[in-house]
Structure 1
Amino acid sequence: MIIFGTKGYLYQLAILTLVCGHCGNPSAHTLRKRVTKFTLFFIPLFPFSTKFATQCTFCGVDQQISKEQADQLLAQSAEHSAGGQQYGQPGGAPAYGQSQQPGQPGQGNPYQR
């Protein structure tokens, strides 16, 4: 007896701020990748279907997108996070343990002496 079938895997690739095409609100959207793999004796062997979708966190609508659109959104998200102000970078909020005002040591971390 041969046991075969399929199994689906869901990967969250990014969280993006986009304007929803359904509700029109600027909100967070999750970019997801669903991969369906062929299994033999419960061992996943190879993927035979890959789909990409975004889901609005405000209204919950899923929108199927192409691989090219998903790659473009990932590139935009990587560019935005690399060029944006993050914690601990100049111009951003201070990292943990750093004081708000330079010249006053120890003010940002209560455990620092």
Structure 2
Amino acid sequence: MLVIFGLSRKEWPLGLVALACMVCGHPGPQSLVRRRTRFTLFFVPVLPLRNRFETRCPVCGTGRQVARDEARRLGAAA
């Protein structure tokens, strides 16, 4: 019997937020993204594993993970 399983990831853009990048110091807007990871069985998403929120710098591409409450606060301000 052959069992096919894996992980699927999907991202949703939530908007732009005004933050300074921690790496390059760019003070402009960064994109706020929600990333969901699910366990898949036979290419069907079965079990949600994690939700992450992160900001991404448009200059250097570095992502910084933010907490759910902070992501809600940043999303409401945008």
Q: TM-score, normalised by structure 2?
A: 0.83
Cα drift, residue 23 of structure 1: 2.3
1:55 aligned residue? 56
Kindly name which structure, 1 or 2, has the bigger radius of gyration based on alpha carbons: 1
2:42 aligned residue? 41
Task: Show structure 1 runs of 4+ deviating over 3 A.
Answer: none
Aligned-pair Cα RMSD in Å: 1.4
Higher relative CO (Cα under 8 Å, sequence separation at least 6) belongs to: 2
Which consecutive residues of structure 1, in runs of 5 or more, have no partner in the other structure?
A: 78-113
1:25 aligned residue? 26
- Which structure's residues are more often strand, by fraction? 2
Which consecutive residues of structure 2, in runs of 5 or more, have no partner in the other structure?
A: none
Cα drift, residue 24 of structure 1: 2.4
Identity percentage over the alignment? 36
Question: C-alpha distance in 2, partners of 1:25/1:64?
Answer: 17
Cα drift, residue 34 of structure 1: 1.2
Count of aligned residue pairs for this structure pair: 77
